[in-house]
Amino acid sequence: MYCQYLHVNSKRLNNRPLIKHDSGYILILTLMIVGLLTAMTVVFMYDVFVGTNALYNYRDGMRLSVEAESGVFLAVDFIGDYLSGVKYTDLDKYLLDSRGYTGITDDSANSEDIMTITISDEQAKFNINTIVYENGLPNRSAIFSLQALLKELTLNEEIAYYIADWIDPDDISRFRDSEGYVKNDYLYTLDELMYIKGIDSEIFKSLSSYVTVYGDGMININTAPMPVLASISYENDSKEMTTLGSERSEKILAYREYTPFNASYDIIKVADMEGVGAKLIGNITVKSSCFNIVSTTSFRELKRVISSTVLLESGESRILYWKEL
């Protein structure tokens, strides 16, 4: 067998001149290193940007929270000054408009900060805690009113029984296992309604504008909307429970539009209320002392909202509810 061997001179191979392909490899390696460094730089700059932005957002958010808190106390002082000079509160006073008044703004803290304060009358609403007396017995007149209010709002009247059993201390079901998973105490906040059987988010949304858990249960006839007025109950001449109803409520609304009620007894001046008005005394008022305050502050896309309920009596104020939303 014949074999031919090829001898290669290693010295000549090592000393050969640099060819074009080798320079291409170096260029590719250099570009890879530059790309990697660029990516690392971009990531670093992004992290710095995110961290700095988060820090600024935290700083601005804290400032907005403090401003919103200040807005609540500004409103409390505003309400106190107002109440000290009036004998009644009515819809003509923007402060007590039951729809809420949005008109107090302040930008002294920061030229771009916006503060808006909305104040609404809690005594324009029905206090659902009044359906059970402090001794645990049912307030049948208040339960009747709550059922009437639910009917006015085209909601299930049976909800009133579930709320009553949520509050009362006994374990006797008024309706269809209404004593299951109950609190057996008064509602501290309106949000608790969502835990009561028969109340879902849609029902809560429909009901929450007309009910409260604060105040003494007296309805302000100067500020209450039609459904609340219509649900005010009283005992008729036949000793049966009845309510004002829509027709009388419309007459009250029409009367107070031109002449606010200066005293509770003024309700007898409304047409068709001569005999009924006196029976409402003790359930109605013309001057409120419990208010909801929503203080909102915003800066660009950031926003802070504080909802608070305050009771003002005898020149003193007491916060009943406070929540930063």
As given in the structure block, the two tokens for residue 64 are: 């907005």
Taking the C-alpha atoms of residue 45 and residue 1, their distance in angstroms, rounded to an integer, is 71
Q: What is the pLDDT of residue 14?
A: 52
Taking the C-alpha atoms of residue 146 and residue 318, their distance in angstroms, rounded to an integer, is 27
Q: Is the pTM of this model over 0.75?
A: yes
The larger pLDDT score, comparing residue 63 to residue 251, is at: 251
* Range in 103-107, 244-248, 313-317 with the lowest mean pLDDT: 103-107
pLDDT tens-digit map of 80-134: 988 998 999 985 444 433 344 445 555 445 568 888 888 999 999 999 999 999 9
| Section 294-318 average pLDDT | 92
pLDDT tens-digit map of 188-237: 999 999 999 889 999 999 999 999 999 999 999 999 999 999 999 999 88
**Residue pair 89/101 in contact by the 8 Å Cβ criterion:** no
With a cut of 80, say whether residue 148 has pLDDT above it.
yes
Helix 159-167 with 140-152: angle, nearest 10 deg? 140
Question: Highest-confidence range of 101-105, 155-159, 178-182, by mean pLDDT?
Answer: 155-159
Taking the C-alpha atoms of residue 35 and residue 194, their distance in angstroms, rounded to an integer, is 57
Count other Cβ atoms within 10 Å, centred on residue 70. Answer: 16
| Section 18-24 average pLDDT | 57
**Residue pair 104/117 in contact by the 8 Å Cβ criterion:** yes
CA separation (Å) from 132 to 63, 144, 266?
Answer: 43, 12, 29
**Residue pair 52/60 in contact by the 8 Å Cβ criterion:** no
Q: Is 167 helix (H, G, I), strand (E, B) or coil?
A: helix
| Section 313-319 average pLDDT | 91
> Which residue in 104, 100, 108, 96 sits closest to 72, CA to CA?
104
